[in-house]
Structure 1
Amino acid sequence: MLLDSPLPQLDRLFDYAVPAQWHADAAPGVRVKVPLRSAGRTVDGFIVELADEEPSDRPLSELDTVVSPMPVLTPDLYRLARRAADRAAGGASDILRLAIPKRMVRAEKTWTAASPPAVPVIQPDTQAWADEVLGVYPRLASALAASERVAVDAPPHTEPASRRAIEGDEPVEVGAWAHLLVAAAARTLADGRSAIIVVPDHRDQAQVQHVIDAHGLTDAAVAVDARRSGPERYASFLRTLAAAPCIVVGNRSAVYAPVARVGLIALWDDGDALLAEPLSPGVHARDAALIRQELDDCALLFAGHTRSADVERLVGLGWVHEVTSARRESPRVVLSATREGEARSARVPSAAFASAREALALGPVLVQVSRPGYAPVLVCAECRKPARCLHCAGPLHATRPGAVPECGWCGRAAVGWHCIHCESTRVRMASSGSERTADELGRAFPGVRVIVADGQHPVTQVDARPALVVATRGAEPLAVGGYRAVVLLDGDRMLMADDLRIGEACLRWWSNAAALAAPGAPVHLVGVTGGVARALATWTQPAYARAELADRAPLRMPPSMRVAAVEGTVAAVDTALATLRGDVPALDDEAVLGPLTGPAETDGPASRAFVRFDYAHGGAVTASLRASVVAEALRSRRPVKGRPPGPRNTLRVRVDVPDLDL
């Protein structure tokens, strides 16, 4: 029995006796409730396996009830959860909480009463289309059929969701990468195996779904994402348990979908932060996919307009094979800078301005900015210090010209504001957001439609008519036929972010925006030079990833090495680090950074340390850290009568942190 509990000391299998009344329903994988003597209550759990009881002087506690006879925990899913949790020094129940949705009785009854889904039939024209799309990449189809791990650079353009024009239908533009992933999934489905497509967000998922619908694969597709209602999520999960193969499309948790005979796992844009699981134990979708590929012997496809340093490391090791396109495609990138006579503070250089004006005669133009809003940053007009809220010290921002500034943290209006440094009462706009940029460009191009696309104004697609589309990074809508020009602003500001991987992230943001341009349309990167700009201009993102790896290796920074963050009280962290050095003597003197002691907390001063270790020592390091977490949890359990209470949650471990944020 595996208990559904976040307590680390309960992350193991327990033995329970099955009463006679539950013999018919108790089966491996079903949900049950069992008593927990130490807590004096019942807890949820899953039956992992059944066996005959061994003679013992100590009787087993009996199972309390079978919640549902539906076996939702398959042996393969439990094995995947266990391996992923052990790799991340976490608990298997935390993984399963992401993989198995809550039970919905009505959806379960409906599913049980319905006939099993039929095996999908791939039409000949769909197979021919899939072969045509995959044929652009020599050896890709054979590599997927041989269950290899491959990495490809996606085509940097868009195209209609269906190449078969249907009269009366409005054109739906999607990225060419969606055609590639769906074609690989359709080819896998034709071989009688299931496919899983993992994408960062709902916009990418919608593009994949459009291609699936256009090629007659709707009945074989299963959507898995958190935006669906509880009954819909549970019904989709039950469909993945069926014997008939299917195509699963979803966000990061979709990688755990318990489909029958998985033949392909495809990850789009694995460098996107949305694929990193924020909940404990924080297993990245890429790492879970690598573990599952090894366990299930299926194909694994990494695709993107850029190459993350993590995947490039695997390519360099030969663990992942790179498959290149037969014909190299790249956007026409122009590095725009201010010309002689222009003010260096000019936000849009004359070359980019003229290019946008010419392109507006043909169709829409995309302008990418770094931040939403009107003026995201305000400073004191006298001393130029950042303007902060007088109540909570949060940053102030302006929502429109002449409006009273508002706090970005507490939301209060800064009425009667004064600078705490110079007592000035005036503020100055220090940056331009999407709305202010749209206002300025609207005055520069009178009579032209201006469309704002950001978190507050979501736009998924624009038509082919002339328009200025001002979008924040990641919120760019697709344009029918592609944008006639793309202008990438605020690049220097983006690169100033305090992040180890900011160069990688900027290259990904700019490459994804450049891929929305029409063939031959100019893409202007404004005010950026150096390696990131060269990689975008020459469309050699894998080379940039290799250079990043080469720079990080001497510094022992991820992903050249794995990094674990250890946090807790001073005593707990010191004990865990001492135990780790004893358990893993191969760690050198520079493996541990810290510990550093922060401000005092309720249970004592907070301490934090980083442990850097080679991939070969990963199993030993994570096992030692997990053992320390369990030991500390047992020492800090709930107060018992006659025993002094101890601190709780005194040690936390997070493995594979992307950045060393001290």
Structure 2
Amino acid sequence: MWTSCARLSVASDTITRVTEPAAQQPALPGMPVRRSRAVGAQDIEPATVDPVARVVVDVPVPHLDRLFDYLVPSSMADAAQPGTRVKVRFGAKDVDGYVVERAGASDHTGTLAFLRRVVSAEPVLTPATLALCRAVADHYAGTLPDVLRLAIPGRHARTEDAERPAGSAPEPTAAAPVPGESASAWAAYAGGAAFVQHVQAGHAPRAVWTALPAAELDPEAATHGWAVALAQLLRACHDVARGAIVVLPDGRDVARLQVELERLGLPVVGRNGGAVGRLVADDGPAARYRSFLAALRGDVRIVIGTRAAAFAPVQDLGLVVCWDDADPNHREQRSPAPHSREVLALRSELEDCALLIGSPARSAPAQALVAAGWVQEIVADRATVRARAPRVRALTSAELASEGAVARIPSAAWRLLRDGLERGPVLVQVPRKGYVPVVVCQGCREAARCRECHGPLGLGAVAGDPQCGWCGRLAAGWRCPECAGTQLRFARIGSDRTAEELGRAFPGATVRVSGASTGVLDALPSRPALVVATPGAEPAVAGGYAAAVLLDAALASLGMSMFATHDALHRWISAAQLVRPSGQGGIVALVGDGDPAATAALVRWDPAGFAARDHAERVELGLPPAVRVASVTGDRMSVAAFLDRLTLPPGGAVLGPVELAAEAGESTLAGAPVRAIVRAPRGQGRALAHAVKGALGGRTARKDPGAVVVQLDPAELL
């Protein structure tokens, strides 16, 4: 059985209809033949103007990372405009896509399929967003569809179809006013006021900002000096109708900046409009899409949020800001794992807008930008830093040698806790969450491990059975395989156990715990209390903490990352900045033998100097970020085959591969996974990404066996 089927034959300048027979699936013996409706030429007609749509198809395969041409039915001619979401046939299934452009003809010499349907007539993919996503994909050797998934939130039809609220975007003004009291927080920094002026004047300065440890602390409210400064900068942009984006690590920081913006008369978008868009995944799809549409339609020119906000379609963009770029939350977990700082740096170049990278400390990549002269510094002078910072004392083993065997919390730290409680709340930072996250054998000190997956054992409570940190199984009746011992010893103490010890030592004091396992506290009143928190979970206190004790400095300095010492200093300074200035009695004690250079930088409160010295050493040794690297992980044969086909840029080199320690479930028939590191000079970074993407495209096109995971600038190395 055959039926007539309509197709369109496409040449470079003509579109003609061809009718040919289409196969009908035969019926089973004895069953009636199912007759299909004949599809005639009159059923689907192409659009008369620009009948070809070039579509980016949501198929994130490297060798298919290009545009595909489709025909636009006449019924969709008005709706299928550039930027709209569509459904198209790709292979044997319908997939999502975006129309990038319309054209009068196609270079494809075969047959074009029609668009299946237009999902929405809202042009959510702007030319600027497309260019940014393409640049990010190329920078990280990823695919355009993967980056578009990060940039454009899923459609929320009810929100899209709702009546458009009245926005608060102002009309452009003729001249930029000179910042006065509205930018007073920037007067404390060399170059701060000038940066604000240049942004308001329409220029595109780029700077790395090292925020002061404390502002004029409000005794009635938990304020943040960095949030006050950023709110003033955004207000200055709003006053001259310049768009701005601020990307922050998490919802807590977004909320803190939101409070300061509302104090300056810039409320967040709601059902009744607003001046600021807020893009935070935790807010839910409706709220997030509402803010996205407000920016897309020009109803707001300021957007704040977490890492997806870096792609927000803000019009008249004049400023992009990455706050606290060393926070790991800025690294996207989904492929190709871009970092907010790099996305905003690319956007600053593409859209010729100002860039600000701010932090209480200074990350190694930010320092690399300073050393290259690509950005300027915004820092306070040493006298201002000393006036704002608390006094820091390092309680190392050398400092406490007179005490003999040093306890985890030495007597000097106990005295600081006691004295601090007489003046207000005291912060205690603990690197590990939980009760006792790691235990060892009492007899031989061998790490206690799970019998099933060999993961580390820990204790969730003083009287409970040890539990595996990987698979979660209880290890009742544990026996050491080395010495047959059955007694366990605490190897590392978590925040819960620390809070228990402090509660016994100070029976009359209030003890609060802030962390992932117990819930993160955002702010506390200025009353005497012991606040035990893990890094990043420290709550703010009205008027600042009277004192802080940072425990287990040696443990905090350890890690597999090349930037473990940078991370440690970042965590210490992030906690210590919440303490009152030294002139108000604020004091911080760092307990343990942390990295000497990071410890000295904390005592002097000189994160910029630490970063500069560290970067000079990395340049000399050829370590990231002075060089660009890519990690290649997989089974040994697949990694070797990939490296054989990889064309290295000039000066490139391959380190490894070396076998990795296989965690639970990682070992395969091909053996334990291996990893190789591909390194290239910083100036050849784009060439390295291009070579990696080409090798990945060839691999997927050939359908090579095995699995290979390639990542540019992997988090563990950068």
| Shared fold per TM-score greater than 0.5 | yes
2:61 aligns with one of 1, 4, 7: 7
From the superposition, tell whether residues 121 and 518 of structure 1 become closer, same or farther in structure 2 (CA, over 3 Å).
farther
Q: Partner of 1:72 in structure 2?
A: 124
Aligned CA distance change for structure 1 residues 156 and 341 (closer, same or farther; 3 Å): same
**In the alignment, is the contact (CA less than 8 A) between 2:69 and 2:106 conserved in 1?**
no
Q: Distance in 1 between matches of 2:561 and 2:625?
A: 14
Give the AA of the match of 2:627: M
Q: Distance in 1 between matches of 2:634 and 2:478?
A: 39
Are 1:507 and 2:569 matched, yes or no?
A: yes
Partner of 2:712: 655
Match of 2:206 among 149, 152, 156: 149
Is residue 2:534 matched to residue 1:472?
yes
**1:358 equivalent in alignment to 2:419:** yes
Deviation at 1:601, TM superposition (A): 3.9
Secondary structure (helix, strand or coil) at the match of 2:687 reads helix
Residue identity matched to 1:470: V
Q: SS of the counterpart of 2:101? A: coil
1:334 to 393, 397, 405: 393
2:309 aligned with 1:254, yes or no?
Answer: yes
Alignment pair present for 1:184 and 2:233: yes
Give the CA deviation at 1:489: 0.8
- Structure with larger Rg: 2
Pairwise CA distance, 1:180: 1.1
- Asked if structure 1 preserves the Cα contact closer than 8 Å seen for 2:207 and 2:378, the reply is yes
Q: Distance in 2 between matches of 1:192 and 1:493?
A: 48
Q: Provide the C-alpha distance between the structure 1 equivalents of 2:560 and 2:65, rounded to a whole number of angstroms.
A: 36
**Quick check: 1:198 aligned with 2:247?**
yes
Taking the TM superposition and a 5 Å limit, the aligned residue runs for 1:405-444 are 405-444=466-505
The equivalent of 1:592 in structure 2 is 654
Task: Sort the Cα spacing of 1:115 and 1:369 in 2 relative to 1 into closer, same or farther, 3 A.
Answer: closer
After superposition, residues 109-508 of structure 1 pair within 5 angstroms as 109-110=161-162, 113-115=163-165, 117-120=167-170, 129-137=181-189, 138=191, 139-145=194-200, 146-157=203-214, 171-218=220-267, 219-325=274-380, 327-328=384-385, 329-337=388-396, 338-339=399-400, 341-457=402-518, 458-508=520-570
Deviations 1:152-178 (A, max 9, x none): 111212556xx7x9xxxxx43132111
Between the aligned partners of 2:310 and 2:108, the Cα distance in structure 1 is 41
Q: Hey, what does 1:611 align to over in structure 2?
A: 678
Change (3 A) 1:538 1:625: same
1:382-440 superposed Cα distances (whole Å, 9 cap, x missing partner): 11111122233222222222222222223233222211212222212222211211121
**Matched-pair contact (CA < 8 Å) for 1:154–1:305:** yes
Which whole-Å CA distance do the structure 2 matches of 1:9 and 1:449 have between them?
60
Q: Is residue 167–residue 275 contact of structure 2 (8 Å, CA) maintained in 1?
A: no
Q: Cα gap change, 1:99/1:376 in structure 2, threshold over 3 Å: closer, same or farther? A: same
Distance 1:576 1:390, change over 3 A: closer
Relative distance call for 1:67 and 1:604 in structure 2 (3 A) is farther
Closer, same or farther: CA 186–150 of 1 in aligned 2, 3 Å: same
Correspondences of 1:551-566 after superposition (within 5 Å)? 551-566=617-632
Q: Deviations over 1:76-131 (max 9, x none)?
A: 00000001101111101111101111111111111xx3255242499x99975432
Other structure's SS at 2:70 match: coil
Provide the aligned length of Structure 1 versus Structure 2: 635
8 Å Cα contact 1:579/1:624 also seen in 2? no
Matched, 1:526 2:591: yes
Match among 73, 76, 86 for residue 22 of structure 1: 76
SS of the residue corresponding to residue 47 of structure 1 reads strand
Letter matched to residue 618 of structure 2:
R
Computed over aligned residues only, the root mean square deviation of the Cα atoms, in angstroms, reads 2.5
- Listed one character per residue, the Cα deviations across residues 54-85 of structure 1 (whole Å, up to 9, x for unaligned) are 58753422111111100000000000000110
Q: Distance in 2 between the 1:3 and 1:251 partners? A: 26
Paired AA for residue 489 in structure 2 = R
Paired residue secondary structure (2:341): helix
Identity of aligned residues (%): 39
Q: Which runs of 5+ in 1 are unaligned?
A: 166-170, 637-645
The residue identity in structure 1 corresponding to 2:522 is T
1:40 to 1:413, Cα distance in 2 relative to 1, 3 A: closer
Tell me the distance in 2 between the aligned counterparts of 1:35 and 1:244. Answer: 35
Q: Classify the secondary structure of the residue corresponding to 1:469.
A: strand
For 1:643, the equivalent position in structure 2 comes to none
What amino acid does structure 1 have at the position aligned with 2:289?
Answer: Y
Change (3 A) 1:505 1:24: same
Contact 1:196–1:266 under 8 Å retained in 2: yes
CA distance in 2 between partners of 1:359 and 1:125 (Å): 46
- Supply the AA of the counterpart residue of 2:602: L
Q: Residue 43 of structure 1 corresponds to which residue in structure 2?
A: 95
**Residues 624 and 418 of structure 1: is their aligned pair in 2 closer, same or farther, counting only changes over 3 Å?**
same
- Partner SS for 2:135: helix
SS at the partner of 2:338? Answer: coil
Q: Distance in 2 between the 1:56 and 1:316 partners? A: 48
- Structure-2 change in CA distance of 1:384 and 1:602 (3 Å): closer
Tell me the TM-score normalised to structure 1 length: 0.91
Give the SS at the match of 1:475.
coil
Match of 2:115 in 1: 63
SS at 1:174 equivalent: coil
Distance 1:440 1:106 in 2: 53
Match of 1:580 among 632, 646, 654: 646
TM-score, reference length from structure 2 = 0.84
Confirm or deny: 8 A CA contact 1:158 1:516 kept in the other structure.
no
Distance 1:56 1:435, change over 3 A: closer
Contact 1:603–1:647 under 8 Å retained in 2? no
Sort the Cα spacing of 1:74 and 1:603 in 2 relative to 1 into closer, same or farther, 3 A: farther
The answer as to whether partners of 2:479 and 2:485 remain within 8 angstroms in 1 is: yes
- The structural deviation recorded for 1:606 is 5.1
One-letter amino acid matched to 2:521: V
State which drifts further: 227-236 or 192-201.
Answer: 227-236
How far does the alpha carbon of each residue in 1:180-227 deviate from its partner, in whole angstroms, 9 at most, with x for none?
111111111111011111111122112111111222211211111111
What is the CA distance between 1:25 and its match in structure 2? 0.4
Q: Are the aligned partners of 1:224 and 1:250 in contact in 2 as well (CA < 8 Å)? A: yes
Contact residue 158 and residue 481 of structure 1 kept, 8 A:
no
Task: State whether residues 280 and 288 of structure 2, in contact with CA within 8 Å, keep that contact through their aligned partners in structure 1.
Answer: yes
Aligned to 1:640: none
Amino acid at match of 2:64: L
Q: How far apart, in 1, do the equivalents of 2:644 and 2:499 lie? A: 57
Distance 1:310 1:465 in 2: 39
C-alpha spacing 1:605/1:418, structure 2 compared with 1 (3 Å): closer
| AA in 2 matched with 1:526 | V
**Contact 1:120/1:244 (8 A) holds in 2:** no
Q: Residue type of the partner of 1:362? A: R
Aligned residues of 2:70 and 2:115 also touching (Cα < 8 A): yes
> Tell me, what secondary structure is at the counterpart of 1:227?
helix
